[in-house]
Amino acid sequence: MSALDVKVAILTDNITGPPYFKAEHGLSCFLEVDGRRFLWDCGLTDVAVGNASLLGIDLRTIEGIGLSHGHVDHAGGLEAVLRVAGAKKVYMHPAAYEPRYLVAGDARVFAGIPLRREALEAMSSGLEMSSGPVEVLPGVTLTGEIPRVTEFEGDEPYLFVLRDGELVPDPFVDDQALVVDTPEGAIVLTGCAHSGLVNVMKHVIEGHGRIRAVIGGTHLGMGAPVEKVEKTMDFIQEALPDRIVVNHCTGSVVMSRMLDRFGGRFTPGNTGLVLTF
Ligand SMILES: [Fe+2]
Ligand SMILES: [Fe+2]
């Protein structure tokens, strides 16, 4: 395989980067591989659109949009993106449209994809729903379902999915990652890594070999079990990607621990951050 020029620009993140960029609880990453462009998640609102124009990124040039999973903080910006980008193909797992809820005490908050499926079909150039891997650009693959092989990564106590009129703990069957194959290893983009970051990394290593970089949410926020944090850190150490750029649902405690442990390999993510490979 010849060398590839890869650029990843973080359009939406929980933390702002350079002045004038906006932040929100969400994730969206623009990807460019040898001049071909793709959008990974869309954030919660239209923040990705504004930040893209600050970076001089023309969203009309993307060839498609991939959703990491069907949570609103990744899919809420779909409508705003499609309005600017024009009709593009949208890739997701077939279960991404299941109605999802966040439950906190007595409150039940809708946390699924806000744009109705019929509306998305009308605005996009088609939905491609797959539970298995899909190549979205040459050398760029959406993983499809991530097998659960670890014991310390599992469901979240406050995230549910509505099935047959009943709220059940969300198994996050729709959770997937994006992989760019390069000669130096795989560049992995996660959404929230609800499957567990170690499960994601193991799955990528099995199918694509060494991981060169991991970028995105880890779901290691405040309240993440200590065992999960420790074992994830240990696995990252073992796999030792050249670059570790975590953001979104990664808490500041885990970020600072990663900086201590991984030093120059680690970069905290934020809106406006542009990574080149
Ligand atoms: Fe998220
Ligand atoms: Fe999520």
Give the tens place of pLDDT for each residue, 169-210. Answer: 999 999 999 999 999 999 999 999 999 999 999 999 999 999
Look at residue 22 and tell me whether its pLDDT is greater than 70: yes
Question: Could you identify the residue written with the tokens 């703990």?
Answer: 169
How close is the Cα of 73 to the center of ligand 2, in Å?
Answer: 7
How close is the Cα of 100 to the center of ligand 2, in Å?
Answer: 10
Minimum-distance ligand to the CA of 43? Answer: 1
Strands (E), 107-260: 107-110, 127-129, 134-137, 140-142, 159-163, 166-169, 178-182, 185-189, 211-217, 243-247
Minimum-distance ligand to the CA of 73? Answer: 1
Average pLDDT over residues 219-232: 93
Which tokens hold the place of 62?
């993307």
- What gap in Å lies between CA 211 and CA 149, rounded to an integer? 18
Look at residue 12 and tell me whether its pLDDT is greater than 60: yes
What do you get for the CA distance between the two ends of the chain, in Å? 15
Minimum-distance ligand to the CA of 159? Answer: 2
Helix axes 78-85, 47-54, angle to 10 degrees: 40
Minimum-distance ligand to the CA of 194? Answer: 2
How close is the Cα of 171 to the center of ligand 1, in Å?
Answer: 15
Helix axes 197-208, 226-239, angle to 10 degrees: 20
Minimum-distance ligand to the CA of 170? Answer: 2
- Give ion ligand 2 contacts, CB < 5 A: 71, 192
How close is the Cα of 143 to the center of ligand 2, in Å?
Answer: 16
pLDDT of residue 215: 98
How close is the Cα of 267 to the center of ligand 1, in Å?
Answer: 19
Q: What is the mean pLDDT of the chain?
A: 96
How close is the Cα of 72 to the center of ligand 1, in Å?
Answer: 8
pLDDT band at 133 (very low <50, low <70, confident <90, very high): very high
pLDDT of residue 223: 86
Look at residue 1 and tell me whether its pLDDT is greater than 50: no
Average pLDDT over residues 24-53: 98
